[in-house]
Amino acid sequence: MDLGLKETRVLVAASSRGLGRATARQFALEGARVAINGRDPSDLEGTAAELSKDTGADVIALPGDVADPRVAEAVVQGAVEHFGGLDVLVTNAGGPPAGTFESTPLDAWEEAFQLTVMSAVRLIHAALPHLRQSDRAAILTITSTSIKQPIDSLILSNSVRMAVGGLTKSLAAELGPEGIRVNSILPGWTRTGRVEELLQAQSEARGITVAEALQTRTTSIPLGRMADPEEFARVAVFLCSSAASYVHGVLLPVDGGSIKATL
């Protein structure tokens, strides 16, 4: 199947590692031109060079912290100046810190809102005038299964990410008439660097092996394992492609069947 992504101009936020990087790489493999973003400029330049060498695609680095109110406009502008426009925006950011309601200080709520919700709002706000000029515009938000089924000790993620789900559905209604498709992926446990670090920390804290720590996370997943980042990325790229031209307003779990509810 031809995904029709050649020369498509794509911006993937928070993409020097993990789900964002895997998504940027998959777009590049499909012949898209890709702008990546992350907080550390030299790390990001390195990732852009690697992706470019690996895929032969035009990959540029646009550093900046997406939780910073000034960054979204600059990053979108950087992509538009380099590519001459923008067709696809993928919003993403690092996750808010783990914790229960009792262990989470009040200030952390506002920080989580800026990081998770306002980063997406600002990026979409900055990108919209350019997406309106595109004949294949798509927005993808990266959220979490936590917006359908809360995860223990992730009170911030469980709470603030739901706003991004609501934003996605609302934008689908508002932007659909203009031909701009808007969807979200709800990743389940996926073996990114961040998750490897969590497993390592859990094994040290509990005096168990990493394999045992992994097993505590995977027993409730019907497929019996975590995803590889590429399994997430292939779905992300499909949803943003013309092959998914009638898929709109969807909050799609890529979770190995972890969410047990029927709706």
Site residues (vs ligand NAD, CB under 6 A)? 14-20, 37-39, 65-67, 92-95, 115, 142, 144, 187, 189-190, 192-195
CB 17, min distance to ligand NAD, A: 4
Q: Is 31 or 111 the residue whose CB approaches ligand NAD more closely?
A: 111
Q: Is 179 or 231 the residue whose CB approaches ligand NAD more closely?
A: 231
Q: Is 194 or 248 the residue whose CB approaches ligand NAD more closely?
A: 194
CB 111, min distance to ligand NAD, A: 10
CB 84, min distance to ligand NAD, A: 24
State phi, psi for 33 to the nearest 5 degrees.
-100, 130
CB 229, min distance to ligand NAD, A: 7
Q: Is 13 or 136 the residue whose CB approaches ligand NAD more closely?
A: 13
Q: Is 78 or 187 the residue whose CB approaches ligand NAD more closely?
A: 187
Measured CA to CA, the distance from residue 163 to residue 169 in angstroms comes to 10
Q: Give me the sheet containing 138-142, strands edge to edge.
A: 59-61, 33-36, 9-12, 88-91, 138-142, 181-187, 251-254
| Residue at shortest CB range from ligand NAD | 18
Measured CA to CA, the distance from residue 60 to residue 214 in angstroms comes to 35
Find residue 253's DSSP bridge partners: 186
**8 Å CB contact between 242 and 175:** no
Q: Which residue has the tokens 């898929």?
A: 247
CB 177, min distance to ligand NAD, A: 30
Residue from 100, 85, 225, 249 nearest 177 by CA: 249
